[in-house]
Amino acid sequence: MNLKTLAQELGLSPTTVSRALNGYPEVSEATRIRVMKAAEAANYRPNTQAKRLATGRAMAIGHIIPISTRHEIVNPVFADFIAGAGEVYARRGYDMVITIVPDDQEARAYAELRSKGNVDGVLVHAPKVEDHRIAMLDHLGLPFVLHGRVSGIESSYSWVDVNNVRAFTRATNFLLDLGHRRIALINGIGNMDFARRRRRGYEQALTARGIAPDPALITEGEMTEAQGHDAAREMLQLSNPPTAFLTASLLSAMGARRGIEEAGLKMGRDISIVTHDDELGYLKNGTAEEPIFTATRSSVREAGRRCAALLIDQIESGDRTPRHELMEAVLVLGQSTGPAPTA
């Protein structure tokens, strides 16, 4: 069933039928209703490709996911972010087009998306400390929104981010207030911008209290359970071990807890943990009423929603002035923190 035959059946021109269905005013209400009903009855839906070609709008948003050929990690946050963004796309009539690409071909993938015209804009993930993608996308003229920021360049493009500095400053201060002085940071990969910011928040809080950050208490890594475990285990063997851990993800925190318990210590009594919690669907921090870990919490799914909404707004309005959204993490109290043990 296509527009032409539908129009024939109705004894109307394709023009009128198209206008009736798309809500243009140049058609009488009576015929509009007649057309709508016939379209419904015939289960007619305009062909996407034809519509796209005619309008010049792809009605699709791209996500490019680089896959490292070396360490094959798929970002665990990805699924939830996608789910959030996808809700918005569906509601607003956009397709979500995901491209998996070897990480050395990422730039090329953006250029192709642009020149082939399959998308109206892209959502950009996981910014690194020095991220060349911004300049590249500006150059391509492809509308985009960044999930996160790149330190140093924050005003020339649109982004949605969590206030990571503030979240980790608060978390650190919270531990300091409980009397902890040896606080360790089990961070994400060092060249990720969000990890850099969290570290900054952590160090600022320490410094403000006159405590010099100890490099022996800072590690970076892939935010897996194993990473959390190994890092905690090693640090607890130091001659001057930490009494508290700050971890970058629930998985790391779970690993750290295991390391703590292996050392014969009890989390929340002997050693405290504050973790960041992205509120992933499959990785809950206990229940809403009873969190296991004290955590800086911010929904990555909500971030996905906001990114998508922002991008579509920009595309549809044609307004290219950058917009920013800074989400604040809440600090929720769980069972993983307590006063520093008195030596």
Partner DNA sequence: GGTCAAGTCCAAAGCGCTTTGGACATGGTG
Partner DNA sequence: CACCATGTCCAAAGCGCTTTGGACTTGACC
Residues in the site for DNA, rule: CB under 7 A?
2-4, 11-16, 18-19, 21-22, 26-31, 44, 46-47, 50-51, 53-56
From CA 107, how far away is CA 66, in angstroms rounded? 10
Q: Kindly tell me which of 50 and 326 has the beta carbon lying closer to a copy of itself.
A: 50
Binding flags for a copy of itself, 65-94, as an x/- string (CB under 8 A): x-x----xxxxx-xxx-xx--xx-xx----
**Shortest CB 99 distance to DNA, Å:** 20
- Phi, psi values for residue 277, rounded to 5°: -130, 115
- Please count the residues of this chain forming the interface with a copy of itself, following the rule CB under 8 A: 59
- Rounded-to-integer distance, Cα 196 and Cα 121, Å: 27
Indicate the burial class of 116 (C-beta count within 10 angstroms; 0-12, 13-18, 19 or more).
exposed
Query: Which three-class secondary structure state does DSSP give residue 220?
Result: strand
> What b/e sequence results for 144-163 when a residue is b if at least 16 CB atoms lie within 10 Å of its CB, and e otherwise?
bbbbbbbeeeeeebbbbbbb
Residues numbered 186-245 forming contacts with a copy of itself, rule: CB under 8 A: 222-226
9 versus 95: smaller Cβ distance to a copy of itself: 95
Tokens of residue 171, six digits: 């978390």
Residue 80's binding partner out of a copy of itself, DNA, none, with CB under 5 to 8 Å set by partner kind: a copy of itself
Nearer Cβ to a copy of itself (83/107) = 83
154, two tokens = 């924050």
DSSP 26: S
CA distance 192 to 206: 22
- Work out the number of other CB atoms within 10 angstroms of the CB of residue 292: 21
Using CB under 8 A as the binding rule, the residues of this chain from 291 to 310 that contact a copy of itself are 301
Per CB under 8 A, does 335 bind a copy of itself? no
User: Contact positions toward a copy of itself, by CB under 8 A?
Assistant: 1, 43-50, 52-53, 58, 60, 65, 67, 72-76, 78-80, 82-83, 86-87, 89-90, 95-101, 111-112, 115-118, 222-226, 251, 254, 257-258, 261, 280-284, 286, 301
